[in-house]
Structures are given as C-alpha cells and as structure tokens.
Amino acid sequence: MAYLSEHLSSLRLEITVLRNMNVRYSQQSEHSPVERTAAIVRESRLVQIKHELSKMRNRPDDSAVWWGKSDKPVRVA
C-alpha cells in the first residue's frame, strides 16, 4: 500500500505542476510554436493521468487479483 500512496502523491504533484504551467501559458497573449507544443503535451499528460486514476479506481473483473495473494490456504469443498 505504501507504493500506492507514494504513486498517488506523485500524480497529485504532477497534476499541480502541469496545471500551474497551463495557467501561466493562458495568461500570455502570444505563444511560440514550442510553447504551443508544450501546452499540447501537458494536456495530453493530464488526460493520461486521468485514465490511469480511472483504472486504479475500478476494481478488476478477476477477483483473484484482489484475493489471490492472501496467506490463507484455499479451501476446496
């Protein structure tokens, strides 16, 4: 679980940085081609993060993913 917590914290920080950069970009009146490309890359990364978080939130269809790593012996009836 520590990995998950660290990963979520990392994603939150990345989201904050990307949004702050987008705010600065939107406050400028003119943009160079490099700045426009960077803005597109930032937006794309935010979409990727959104999809990643969505996948993390959804439970997998296979319950073995959730319970298969248990230390308890499997009971067969």
| pLDDT value of residue 75 | 56
| pLDDT value of residue 64 | 61
Residue 6 inside a domain? The answer is: no
Residue 71 inside a domain? The answer is: no
Residue 67 inside a domain? The answer is: no
| pLDDT value of residue 71 | 52
Residue 24 inside a domain? The answer is: yes
Residue 30 inside a domain? The answer is: yes
Is the Cβ–Cβ distance between 23 and 3 less than 8 Å?
A: no
Is the Cβ–Cβ distance between 29 and 67 less than 8 Å?
A: no
Q: Give the structural domain span for 21.
A: 12-58
Hey, what amino acid is at 15? I
Residue 69 inside a domain? The answer is: no
| pLDDT value of residue 62 | 64
pLDDT in tens, the chain (77 residues): 688 889 999 999 999 999 999 999 999 999 999 999 999 999 999 999 999 999 888 866 666 655 555 455 555 55
Residue 3 inside a domain? The answer is: no
Residue 64 inside a domain? The answer is: no
The total of structural domains in the chain comes to: 1
